[in-house]
Structure 1
Amino acid sequence: MTAPVRALSLAELRERTSEKWREYPEEVLPLFVAEMDFALAPAITAALERAVRIGDTGYVASRTPLAAAYTAFAQRRFDWAPDPAGMRSTADVSMGIVEILRRVVEPGERVIVNPPVYPPFFDLVSEAGGVVERVPLRETGGGWQLDLDGIAAALASGVRAVLLCNPHNPTGTVHSAESLRALAELADRHGATVVSDEIHAPLVQPHAQFTPFLSTGPAAERVGFAVVSASKAFNLAGLKCALMVAASPERRALLRGLPVEVEWRTGQFGLLAAVAAFAPESDTWLDGLLSTLDQNRRLLADLLATHLPGARYRMPDAGYLAWIDLTELGWGANPSRRILREAKVALNAGPTFGTEGAGHVRLNFGTSPEILTEAVLRIAGLRDADGETSR
């Protein structure tokens, strides 16, 4: 069994200057923004230390090993070998999404998103000139699925693109190969484009099979783009590096036609770190991270069942973000406000993920068991206080 990765102590984490550790006062436990509380993979640390030592801090080169490194990584992890010739880099996944949407959607045309979904999706569609078309996920009782009937109806009404979250944030849903293939065929039938955000793909638990959208067949290759990055799985968001991936000649031509500045926005440190992350020597670290996150998602389930039984939580199959329904506790449409104010725990507000998020919070469990436990106990104290008030 792979050894879990080591979570840093609270004292060590307080030395960080990133958003997670500077947004709130020290009495607040931050379990909101998607940053993890672990040391970097050793190969990444070595690559960045070497770059600093030799002053390798210039512009990103026109030829880099990044695309080939990702292809080898995808082959090992997903049994998929995208052609490096169909890739271009940029600063981050959000930028890649906007740059692609700008070229496949005319101003005012509609783009499907599947709420509850990563809040910037709504803004990215607008930034690209599109209009959001909401087709919420279907909750089946055992999980969430794409509403293919709803997507079909929207595409038939003239929607031009689908912005897919694969795996899905915040639910941690790993879309099935069958549903992705059906989505591709629907888009192909209606002449629409699918842009698949696959930033959480390396974080799929071993029991759940991740399917890259572009791997599902000829229809997906004709209609699709993927945008990928090492940033979420390896905690590199501040270093700015992502890849836009296309498979068909037409889609590759679109990527080649992007201005050179789109690629030059790639961070040099981000590229060096991503190449190290995608290298075989980082696989053991990633496997250890998945083991750690598996333990934490189960610990969270136990903590909620014991101390906050009114909470409804389904363990995610991917990522380190928990989507928790607190409606039964009666803390309003946005319970994160009270939790921050009274429990001193910072969570993401459910309503920012769409109207389906009312009564929900998103909690980041990519941390130590001690911090996770303390956070849940603080939140549970609010319920205990409510009980005292009612007596």
Structure 2
Amino acid sequence: MSTPFTTYSLEQLRTRTSDKWVKYGPDVLPLWVAEMDSTLAPSIVEAVTKAMQAGDTGYASGNLYGEVFAEYAQRHWGLGIDPTYTLPVIDVIRGLQTVIQVATEPGAPVVITPPVYYPFGMIINGSGRTLVNAPMTAAGRFDPATLEQAFSEAAALGKGGLVLISNPHNPTGVVHTRDELTTLAILASKHGLRILSDEIHAPLTMPGHPFVSILDIPEAADALVVTSASKPYNLAGLKAAIIVGSRGSADLIAEIRATRYESPSHLGTIAHVAALRGGDEWLLAVNKDIDRNRHLVTELVERFLPGAAYTPVEATYLGWVDCRALGLGDNPGQVFLEKSKVAFSSGHTFGPGGEGHIRVNMATSPEILTEAFRRASLAL
């Protein structure tokens, strides 16, 4: 029986016109950008088809996204969210940028924990804020000593600031535990820093690794989250996201609501709401596919890239492979692209600690994954 990742053949996937499939030539196997080679949840197809047939393609209105997300968060994580403190935005990156611009003054520090999603640095620098790095440990987890040092450096600027985290973490696939988040929150509060959390991958957690939102940490009472159904439900092309706060961040949410000038796509909102309301069964099948593939990659690394290091991810569909022992330099992704005609994301773009790594998009069939690693072995 077909599953979300095994429904389409490589030939069918190559008819897609999204960035994943058109950036490189037809001789390259693409496992880079975070798009899934999957079906869509039937609830999404039904809702979008109905809207198109009705010509319902105008401007987005209201905050149905916030109301439905609150229901979703309660159902999946037992997380109580008041829709009053939610705000729909065009996408996660724009939402993060908006919070940074409204919550901080020019030159204020924003601490990130590399290796981390590379647009973080772009929006911080592009907003005229000061980027401060607090690198993760070799195991991809928060390092309290490094956090303390970075937070002290940020506080010394005397401009307040933010800590921007990815949870679950992109690219390493780590799910930050309640204890880790509590330590982070205590240290951030000590130095006068507010936490901003990108939680877009939260529904994609694996067995034994429960997701905990920063909003569920009492010590982070003024934290904010930006998230979206786009990653777990493969809706990157249907733009919508949401900023989520609590009573402790009510004033900032109100300020953003009063000053923002962009809204999500109406069609995107329809799709995301349909995903959150009716996509649970489909998501369960997706997570089973990811669970299978994350362990398959262990076998493929051992077979085709002996000497490389990989630990099955705790969340996301993005494998993080350490290729430093293979002698391919700081940018092995470029070597694999040129010599093997397979496109992975290059680890160095994710900041300090990413050198010599590749990020592998595992949201595809086992056959395509296997062929990608077979090709990669030709570069050795």
Measure how far apart 1:104 and its partner are. 2.0
For 1:165 and 1:4, how far apart are their aligned partners in 2? 28
Q: Post-superposition shift, 1:338?
A: 1.4
Does residue 264 of structure 2 align to residue 274 of structure 1? Answer: no
Give, in angstroms, the shift of residue 4 of structure 1.
Answer: 4.1
Report the Cα offset of residue 6 of structure 1.
Answer: 4.2
Corresponding letter in the other structure for 1:109: A
CA distance in 2, matches of 1:3, 1:220: 43
Q: C-alpha displacement at 1:263, in angstroms?
A: 6.3
Give the match for residue 146 of structure 2: 150
For residues 287-336 of structure 1, give each alpha carbon's deviation from its aligned partner in whole angstroms, at most 9, with x where no partner exists. 11000000011111111112221111111100010111111111111011
1:204-353 → structure 2 map (5 Å cutoff) = 204-217=205-218, 219-222=219-222, 224-249=223-248, 251-258=249-256, 262=260, 264-279=262-277, 281-353=278-350
The Cα shift of 1:44 comes to 0.5
Unaligned segments of structure 1, at least 5 residues = 384-391
Q: SS state of the match for residue 17, structure 1?
A: coil
SS in 1 for 2:264: coil
**TM-score between the two structures when normalised by the length of structure 2:** 0.95
- 2:202 equivalent to 1:196: no
Q: TM-score, normalised by structure 1?
A: 0.92
Provide structure 2 residue ranges, at least 5 long, that are not aligned to the other structure. 156-160
1:389 equivalent in structure 2: none
Whole-angstrom distance in 2 between the partners of 1:59 and 1:147: 44
For each residue in 1:191-232, what CA deviation from the matched residue of structure 2 results, as whole angstroms up to 9, or x when unmatched?
211100000101011320110001111x3122x100110000
**Structure 1 residues 262 and 36: alpha-carbon distance in aligned structure 2, compared to 1, 3 A threshold:** farther
| Alpha-carbon separation, structure 2, partners of 1:252 and 1:206 | 34
> Residue 187 in 1 paired to residue 184 in 2?
no
Structure 1 match to 2:48: 48
Superposed CA deviations along residues 362-382 of structure 1, whole A, max 9, x for unmatched, are: 110100111111000001122
Residue 92 of structure 1 contacts residue 241 of structure 1 at CA under 8 Å; is this kept in 2? yes
- With over 3 angstroms needed to count, the CA separation of the structure-2 counterparts of 1:157 and 1:168, relative to structure 1, is same
Indicate if the aligned counterparts of 1:194 and 1:225 stay in contact, CA closer than 8 A.
yes
**Aligned equivalent of 1:70:** 69
Secondary structure at 2:221 match in 1:
helix
Q: 1:80 to 1:299 in 2, by over 3 A?
A: same
| Residue of structure 2 in register with 1:387 after alignment | none
Q: Is the alpha carbon distance of 1:213 and 1:241 closer, same or farther for their aligned partners in structure 2, counting shifts above 3 Å?
A: same
CA positional deviation for 1:94: 0.6
Aligned structure 1 segments of 4 or more residues deviating by more than 3 angstroms: 259-264
C-alpha displacement at 1:165, in angstroms? 0.7
Report Cα offsets for 1:69-121 as digits up to 9, x if no partner. 11111111111121111100101111111110112222112111111111111
DSSP 3-state at the match of 2:319: strand
Task: Report deviation, 1:342.
Answer: 1.4
CA RMSD of aligned residues (A): 1.6
| 8 Å CA contact 1:60, 1:264 repeated in 2 | no
Following superposition, the deviation at residue 262 of structure 1 comes to 3.6
* Contact 2:118–2:349 (CA under 8 A) maintained in structure 1: yes
AA of the residue aligned to 1:229: S
How many corresponding residue pairs? 374
Q: Distance in 2 between matches of 1:48 and 1:138?
A: 43
Structure with greater helix share of residues: 1
Equivalent-residue separation in structure 2 for 1:105 and 1:175 (angstroms): 25
Percentage of identical aligned residues: 39
